[in-house]
């Protein structure tokens, strides 16, 4: 009986985490019963569960599109969901399959990388770095060669399409390179990864 009546003191930090109780400076400590605490905690778990279930449904939808053989559409769907966690998940998958990459995929992925580089999550930044490094190392020379020799004269649809894709990639890489300089002073492995990307992309601006 005493266990049910016991009161648990909530500090300012815990109150912020719960999002239910706020403490003001120089005011008496507020308390919440064990029952209230458990209800609040359960509500938080439900929110996490709902988010994970929604993410799983979205990933299953992306997988369904991909299973039909249309990787580019699957990427567009995943990125179009505007959920960075899903973008990171699919980028990690396609990074392990270099043979499926082409310029078209680069034009789809690069705008998403630009968004990821503004993420507050370190893992997102690492994935953005590794993906951009793959693009620059695999397609950088092709992109620069096409930028240095734009199509002229006789109509060559294939060459013109390739040039357009290279131009889009060049612009995106240049924009990302300028924007990520704000991370250049980061410490540890992330800082090293950022500085490596900046160095690799120097010739794009």
Q: Report the C-alpha gap between 51 and 44 in whole angstroms.
A: 11
93 Cβ partners below 8 Å, 6+ apart? none
38 Cβ partners below 8 Å, 6+ apart? none
Tens of pLDDT along 72-123?
A: 999 998 898 888 988 999 999 999 898 999 999 999 999 999 999 999 999 9
Q: Report the C-alpha gap between 109 and 44 in whole angstroms.
A: 33
Q: Report the C-alpha gap between 5 and 83 in whole angstroms.
A: 43
Query: Residue 145 — very low, low, confident or very high, per pLDDT cuts 50/70/90?
Result: very high
- Helical spans, DSSP H, in 68-156: 71-80, 84-95, 103-116, 122-148
Whole-prediction pTM: 0.71
Contact (Cβ atoms closer than 8 angstroms) between residue 67 and residue 93 = no
Collapse the DSSP code of 9 into the 3-class scheme (helix H, G, I; strand E, B; otherwise coil) and give the result. Answer: strand
Mean pLDDT over the full length of the chain: 79
Tens of pLDDT along 166-175?
A: 999 999 999 9
Question: How many CB atoms are closer than 10 A to CB 179?
Answer: 12
The shares of helix, strand and coil residues in the chain, as percent rounded to the nearest 5, are 75, 5, 20
């Amino acid at each position: 009986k005493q266990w049910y009546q016991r009161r648990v003191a909530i500090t300012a930090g815990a109150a912020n985490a719960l999002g239910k109780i706020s403490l003001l400076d120089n005011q008496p400590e507020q308390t919440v019963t064990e029952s209230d605490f458990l209800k609040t905690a359960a509500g938080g778990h439900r929110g996490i569960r709902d988010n994970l279930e929604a993410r799983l449904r979205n990933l299953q939808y992306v997988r369904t599109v991909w299973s039909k053989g249309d990787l580019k559409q699957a990427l567009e769907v995943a990125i179009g969901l505007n959920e960075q966690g899903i973008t990171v998940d699919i980028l990690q998958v396609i990074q392990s399959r270099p043979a499926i990459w082409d310029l078209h995929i680069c034009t789809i992925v690069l705008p998403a990388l630009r968004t990821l580089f503004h993420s507050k999550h370190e893992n997102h930044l690492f994935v953005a770095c590794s993906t951009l490094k793959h693009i620059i190392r695999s397609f950088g020379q092709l992109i620069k060669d096409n930028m240095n020799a734009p199509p002229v004269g006789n109509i060559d649809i294939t060459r013109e399409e390739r040039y357009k894709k290279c131009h889009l990639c060049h612009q995106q890489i240049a924009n990302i390179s300028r924007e990520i300089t704000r991370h250049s002073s980061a410490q540890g492995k992330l800082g090293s990864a950022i500085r490596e990307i900046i160095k690799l992309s120097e010739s794009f601006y």
